[in-house]
Structure 1
Amino acid sequence: MSTTRTIIDTIEDLRSQDSSITVGVSGFGGSGKSTLTRQLTASIEGSARIRGDDFLDPDRSHQRSSDWDGVGRIRLREEVLNPFRQGQPGAFRRFDWGTRQLSAPEAIPTAQVLIVDAIGLFHPDLDGAFDLTIWVDLDLPVATARGKARDHQLGRSHDRLWDEVWVPNERDFFARFNPRPTADCLFVPA
């Protein structure tokens, strides 16, 4: 198991070998992916975050799928990861949850380390896109309880979606793609 410190050290070591590093952080919904990513970007000079929520399709992410079809992995790869890894300027379109459509293009953040956190990230569509992959290793029932509690605190009632769509999607994705053992680092949140 990796600690935040060992992950930072690993990223710094990779950065000493290459000028631009991509890091993928994945795990079950509610596991703490965003929390870890915020900690990493706050601790690593020259890093930036790309939120997986900016690459979700609101309709497809609310439907049953065995591969988290609602995650726009191809768009993430083409608009962000490929240009960043090639050292080329690029632009991406965040999903605007208020208008329920893609926003105007914005520049990829200027950074040496680009950290992406999302569900369903460790998928064949993104093979080879990350220099380091981190699985936030929290059991699905615990992650789900945390995710539901977070939603309730934010005034969102998504219990039905958690129970009928998101948890079954997580189970299917995990059984189909087995992301935990493919990750370079396992991180257990507090």
Structure 2
Amino acid sequence: MRSQRFFNDLAEELRELPEEVRIIAIDGRCAAGKTTLAARLVKELGGDVIHMDDFFLPPALRTPERRSEPGGNVHYERFLTEVLPNLRSGRPFSYRRFDCSRMTLGEEIPVENNGYIFVEGAYSCHPVFGDYMDRRVFLDIDGKTQEERIRKRNGEDRLQDFLQLWIPLEEAYFQTFSVWEKADYIIL
């Protein structure tokens, strides 16, 4: 009940944003429900979703220096060139999704760009992107629930990758750039 009321309040406030391209960044901890929230908002309000997972860091860029950089675990250079310049244009555009199964760029993803754009995923509020968004949402999750969701979604073998690599990289990004503190909405 509480989450539905919050969702309704969030959707209502987003409806009140000026009628141009409205860009909402949905950042937060892995398995907190960012993709689910973006899908619900698109169903309620319309628009497009851009997944930060589509900007997975390719193997050639996974250097020790890059991994030690807070927020460096995303191909932000590609987001900066393929997406960011087009967000406020009001014109359709596309970008290429990173295909993790082949570890290379895959299909083109079309973005209609005629209303709401939800940029969802960890690193969507990275300061290298500037202040491109109209609203920032941060989704939090407790550690136990996070582990259960990752185990269910990715399997026991992959859970260890998350616990030992991906979660610590995200936490360094959240702490270094105060992502939580800069959010307009925090969903626990």
- What does residue range 8-47 of structure 1 map to in structure 2 within 5 Å? 8-14=11-17, 17-45=18-46, 47=47
Name the CA distance, whole Å, in 2 between partners of 1:21 and 1:120: 19
| Contact 2:58–2:75, Cα closer than 8 Å, also in 1 | no
Question: Of 130, 134, 141, which aligns to 2:137?
Answer: 134
- % identical aligned pairs: 24
Moved more, 100-109 or 157-166: 100-109
Q: 1:65 to 1:43 in 2, by over 3 A?
A: farther
Does the residue aligned with 2:124 lie in a helix, a strand or coil?
coil
Aligned residue number for residue 82 of structure 1: 85
Name the CA distance, whole Å, in 2 between partners of 1:148 and 1:128: 34
- What does residue range 45-84 of structure 1 map to in structure 2 within 5 Å? 45=46, 47-59=47-59, 60=62, 64-84=67-87
Amino acid at match of 1:122: C
What is the TM-score with the length of structure 1 in the denominator?
Answer: 0.83
Q: Which runs of 5+ in 2 are unaligned?
A: none
Deviation at 1:173, TM superposition (A): 1.5
Deviation at 1:143, TM superposition (A): 2.4
Name the CA distance, whole Å, in 1 between partners of 2:146 and 2:58: 21
Amino acid at match of 2:32: S
Q: 1:120 to 1:141 in 2, by over 3 A?
A: farther
Does the residue aligned with 2:157 lie in a helix, a strand or coil?
coil
Deviation at 1:95, TM superposition (A): 0.8
Name the CA distance, whole Å, in 2 between partners of 1:84 and 1:171: 27
Name the CA distance, whole Å, in 2 between partners of 1:106 and 1:138: 29
Name the CA distance, whole Å, in 2 between partners of 1:144 and 1:26: 18
| Contact 1:66–1:176, Cα closer than 8 Å, also in 2 | no
RMSD: 2.6
Name the CA distance, whole Å, in 2 between partners of 1:41 and 1:180: 23
Name the CA distance, whole Å, in 2 between partners of 1:160 and 1:64: 18
Aligned residue number for residue 176 of structure 1: 176
Does the residue aligned with 2:32 lie in a helix, a strand or coil?
coil
| Contact 1:64–1:165, Cα closer than 8 Å, also in 2 | no
Q: Does 1:101 align with 2:100?
A: no
Aligned residue number for residue 165 of structure 2: 165
Does the residue aligned with 1:3 lie in a helix, a strand or coil?
helix
Q: 1:126 to 1:139 in 2, by over 3 A?
A: farther
Moved more, 167-176 or 123-132: 167-176
Amino acid at match of 2:100: W
